[in-house]
């Protein structure tokens, strides 16, 4: 069983970024991050992105709006950043406070600065195989699979979860010509789920339920990709909890030819591809 850790792959992405920047003197990709409200997890994510920008020599602009901010205030800020030539990437940290329309915010971001890859223009380009900004988490998984030379052509991939952030764009990436996987996109209404997943060569899980994928849901030699991240109580840990994924790792891993750990797997790749997309946006200006 191979452990598909994300750090080694992410480091290769950062090395590529450093090399590209070295060949483009004076280029400084700049990321603007908007945080609305005081959600602790969101604050942590924003801090992590800020820190990575500093490590790479990127410019970074952080905007913190109160939870009481209205749509017009938020959209006005997005439009201002759209028009700023010094800003290459715009990210609005989710989730937004109740009462704010996240989809409207996404659609207001300039597609060329949409480093999350969520704008309908970029989603459409992805689906038909055109170049555009790609959703960071599934894009990171594609990098990871390529790095570890996991075969995809002709393979049956079962994806559990149909979100706009992971499941749908992951399926779109896998079915493109040149990748050539056969994809079954499963969800909460899928019947006979275990029959589908146990016949798949690769199983990807993104449902947000700790330990959802059990050993009887995968076949011997399968590759398993775990997008999940949940906190479960653990009195033996200093923080009183531990981080687990959507896969019951201890029972599933022995059956796998390869599997991603949680933490240290897919999550590490998400921020790497965010930085990659920001560089791509800067190069396109």
Positions annotated as catalytic residues are 49, 93, 116
Q: Is 33 helix (H, G, I), strand (E, B) or coil?
A: strand
Q: Specify burial of residue 98 (Cβ count, 10 A radius: 0-12, 13-18, 19+).
A: exposed
Encoded tokens for 255: 């059956």
Measure Cα distances from 185 to 24, 143, 144, 146, 202 in Å.
41, 20, 20, 21, 12
| β-sheet bridge partners, residue 184 | 158
The position carrying tokens 């749509």 is 71
Q: Is 61 helix (H, G, I), strand (E, B) or coil?
A: strand
- C-beta of residue 212 within 8 angstroms of C-beta of residue 160: yes
The Cα 234–Cα 210 span in angstroms is 14
The separation between the first and the last C-alpha atoms of the chain, rounded to the nearest angstrom, is: 44
Show the DSSP H helices in 97-166 as ranges.
102-108, 120-128, 136-147
Strand order in the sheet with 89-92: 59-65, 30-36, 89-92
Measure Cα distances from 141 to 80, 89, 101, 166, 231 in Å.
33, 21, 28, 10, 22
The Cα 247–Cα 245 span in angstroms is 5
């Amino acid at each position: 069983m191979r452990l598909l850790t994300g750090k080694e792959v992410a480091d290769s992405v950062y090395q590529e970024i450093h090399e590209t920047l070295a060949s483009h003197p004076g280029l400084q990709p700049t990321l603007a991050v908007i945080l609305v409200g005081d959600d602790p997890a969101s604050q942590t994510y924003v801090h992590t992105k800020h820190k990575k920008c500093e490590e790479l020599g990127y410019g970074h602009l952080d905007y913190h709006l109160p939870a009481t901010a209205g749509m017009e205030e938020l959209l006005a800020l997005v439009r201002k950043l759209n028009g700023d030539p010094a800003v290459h990437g715009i990210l609005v940290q989710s989730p937004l406070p109740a009462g704010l329309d996240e989809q409207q915010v996404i659609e207001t971001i300039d597609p060329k600065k949409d480093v999350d890859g969520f704008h309908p223009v970029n989603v459409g380009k992805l689906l038909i195989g055109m170049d555009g900004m790609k959703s960071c988490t599934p894009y990171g998984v594609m990098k990871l699979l390529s790095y570890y030379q996991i075969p995809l052509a002709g393979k049956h991939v079962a994806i559990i979860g149909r979100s706009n952030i992971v499941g749908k764009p992951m399926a779109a990436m896998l079915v493109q010509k040149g990748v050539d996987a056969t994809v079954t996109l499963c969800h909460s209404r899928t019947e006979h789920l275990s029959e589908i997943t146990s016949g798949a060569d690769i199983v990807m899980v993104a449902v947000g339920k700790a330990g959802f994928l059990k050993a009887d849901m995968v076949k011997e030699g399968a590759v398993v990709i775990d997008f999940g991240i949940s906190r479960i109580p653990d009195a033996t840990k200093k923080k009183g909890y531990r981080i687990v994924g959507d896969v019951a790792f201890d029972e599933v891993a022995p059956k796998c030819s390869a599997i991603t750990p949680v933490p240290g797997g897919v999550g590490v790749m998400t921020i790497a591809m965010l930085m990659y997309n920001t560089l791509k946006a800067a190069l396109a200006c």
